[in-house]
Amino acid sequence: MTGWGYTKIVQAMRRLGHNISRQTVKNVLVATGLGPRPHDTPDTWSEFLKRHADTMWQCDFACKRKWTIKGMVDLYFMVFIHIGSRWIWVSPYTASPSGDWTTQQARNFDMFLQEEKLPCTILQCDQDTKYVQRLMTC
Task: List, in order of start, the domains of the chain with CATH numbers.
Answer: 6-41 (no CATH), 50-136 (3.30.420.10)
The model scores a pTM over 0.75: no
Block mean pLDDT (10 aa), the chain, length 138: 74 89 89 76 78 90 92 95 93 92 92 92 78 56
Q: How many other C-beta atoms can be found within 10 angstroms of the C-beta atom of residue 57? A: 23
